[in-house]
Amino acid sequence: MNRNVGATALTVVVLAAGLAVALRDRLPERGTDAGDPSEVFWEMIDVSREGTADAYLDLFAGEVREQLETIREEMGEAAFQQYLRQRIAGLKGVAVTAREDLGDIVRLEVEYVREASYETQSLDLRLTRGQWRIVALGPTEEREPPVPYGTPVGPGD
């Protein structure tokens, strides 16, 4: 009987530890000084420009990170680094245009400005181990600007 109690106790401890590990990325953290969530967006732009794959992936958590890791494995390291650089190449500007607090999630609306178009996208961030991490990406919506970037303004000649 003592052996059954010990085995049951060990099973409970192992299950509790497994549950704690599984939930640690999903539970909101309280009392941390993680800074402004929009800093993650600006860091994403910087590390993309540099093509630093590991630093880029460190900005993500959960399923999004797993998907990005799979893409990197399928593309290969050099191609993934090139993809990151190309995504940023040709940008004329970037901006965080809105922020919405949704409980344990902060949603940022961001904009990427190119010469002939601009793209908008939402990024959902959550505190993960004391740091803001991107946990969801909305679809990218591309639009043509009403006035092309670089068009001179002011009185005509």
* CATH number of residue 88's parent domain: 3.10.450.630
DSSP calls for the chain: -HHHHHHHHHHHHHHHHHHHHHHTTTS---S-----THHHHHHHHHHHHHT-HHHHHTTB-HHHHHHHHHHHHHH-HHHHHHHHHHHHTT--EEEEEEEEEETTEEEEEEEEE-SS-EEEEEEEEEEETTEEEEEEEPPPEEE--SS-TT---S---
In a domain, 121, yes or no: yes
Up-side HSE of residue 133: CA atoms within 13 Å toward CB? 23
Indicate the number of domains in the chain.
1
Query: What pLDDT sits at residue 63?
Result: 96
**Per-residue confidence band for 11, with pLDDT thresholds at 50, 70 and 90:** very low
Q: Is residue 13 part of a domain?
A: no
Q: Side chain identity at 2, as an amino acid letter?
A: N
The pLDDT tens digits for 18-72 are 434 344 444 444 434 568 999 999 999 999 999 999 999 999 999 999 999 999 9
Report if residue 16 sits inside a domain: no
> Is residue 19 included in any domain, yes or no?
no
Q: Is the pLDDT of residue 144 over 90?
A: no
pLDDT in the model for residue 14? 38
Q: Side chain identity at 64, as an amino acid letter?
A: V
82-105: string of b/e by CB count within 10 Å (b at 16+)? ebbeebbeebeebebeeeeeeeee
What is the C-alpha separation between 40 and 25, in angstroms, rounded? 17
Please indicate, yes or no, if residue 131 is contained in any of the structural domains.
yes
CB 141 within 8 A of CB 112: no
pLDDT digits (tens, 9 = 90+) for 84-133: 999 999 899 999 999 999 999 999 999 999 888 889 999 999 999 899 99
Q: Please check whether residue 53 lies inside any domain of the structure.
A: yes
According to DSSP, the residues that pair with 118 across neighbouring strands are 113, 143
152 located within any domain: no
> Domain range spanning residue 45?
34-143
Nearest to 128 by CA among 15, 19, 40, 17: 40
